Copies of this chain bind each other. A is one copy, B any other.
Amino acid sequence: MDKKMIFGHKNPDTDSICSALVYADLKTQLGDNVKPVRLGELNKETEYVLDYLDVKAPELITKVPEDVKGVILVDHNEFQQSVDNIRDVKILEVIDHHRISNFETNDPLYFRVEPVGCTSTILYKMYQENDKEISKTIATLMLSAIISDSLLFKSPTCTKEDVKAAKELGEIAEINVEEYGLAMLEAGTALDDKTAVELLTMDAKEFSFGESDVIIAQVNAIDTGTVFERREELEAEINKIIKEKELDLFLLVVTDIINSNSDVLAIGKATQNVEEAFKVKLAANRALLEGVVSRKKQIVTHLGDTFK
């Protein structure tokens, strides 16, 4: 296969799926031979987006086939969030908006990380830099990724560039951004049919802070209380995951997308780092983090500092 594969992180969110599809479109327009793929199941929010547009989901892979020429990572760079055989494949490019950690190559590559709220915001600039056309479908994919990552522009990760990109993409897509965005986010909060394990793994990311291994799982909700009705079952599953992966901490972040707070459940030997990072006291392993909605900017940063 002379193809290159493009994919976002494991437990893909809307940005990871949309950015893979979008960048594949841009690369194809630029004459490259690429294929968007995904490293996990779609979440309800992303399903809503693809259904709305009648776009097929990228093919699911568990490892990069040996005959693939090289890979392009979008929306992540940390190897533990990437495909299992990432160390055996040639990484050609990275387009991302996260902290950089646990990434290395022997060869120089095209690596573009910008401190914006969404990978698709960077891709939008790349269409402009390359003077390439953005179809209505592609515009809606990018817009959906920005709405998802910024919680409709309410997250502190959201920058002026994201807002500007979303506005312009909304015009290209001829879509009511607020209305579409709310429907999309609400679709993502339908958690009733999820098992405890699914809920804990659907948007879980692994981090290494110094010598400590941490999983931070995030779910969005309209009413965070309903998630915690299943606290006992969730704690039992979390303890299994901690044991299996030898984690120092598992943090479940249940984000109230209406009031912009997060209710967290922290388990593991490093729970005191959570208390230190957010200046809270855990009660029954839980705490309310006022105004916290962004894993990247409000959780990883502060929690990471306490492991130094």
Binding site for B on A (CB under 8 A): 97-115, 129, 296-297, 300-301, 304-305
Contacts and interface: CB of A to CB of B under 8 A. Distances in A.
Nearest to A304: B106
Nearest to A208: B104
Given A100-B100, A106-B301, A106-B305, 12 more contacts: A99-B104, A99-B105, A99-B109, A101-B105, A106-B300, A106-B304, A107-B297, A107-B301, A108-B114, A110-B114, A111-B111, A129-B129
Contacts of A110: 113-115
Contact of A115 (B98, B102, B109, B114): B109
Candidate in A107, A297, A300 with the most chain B CB atoms within 10 angstroms? A107
A104 B105 CA distance: 14
A19 to B, nearest CB: 15
A163 to B, nearest CB: 17
A161 B98 CA distance: 28
B108 A296 contact: yes
Copies of chain A in the complex: 2
A135 to B, nearest CB: 25
A161 to B, nearest CB: 12
A296 B105 CA distance: 12
A38 B113 CA distance: 25
Contact of A108 (B102, B106, B113, B304): B113
B99 A108 contact: yes
Given A99-B105, A102-B104, A105-B99, A112 B112 contact: yes
The 8 closest A-B pairs by CB, nearest first: A106-B304, A101-B104, A111-B113, A108-B115, A99-B105, A106-B301, A99-B108, A107-B301
A112 B111 contact: yes
A100 B106 CA distance: 7
A211 to B, nearest CB: 13
Contacts of A113: 108-112
Contacts of A301: 106-107
Contacts of A100: 100, 103-105, 109, 111
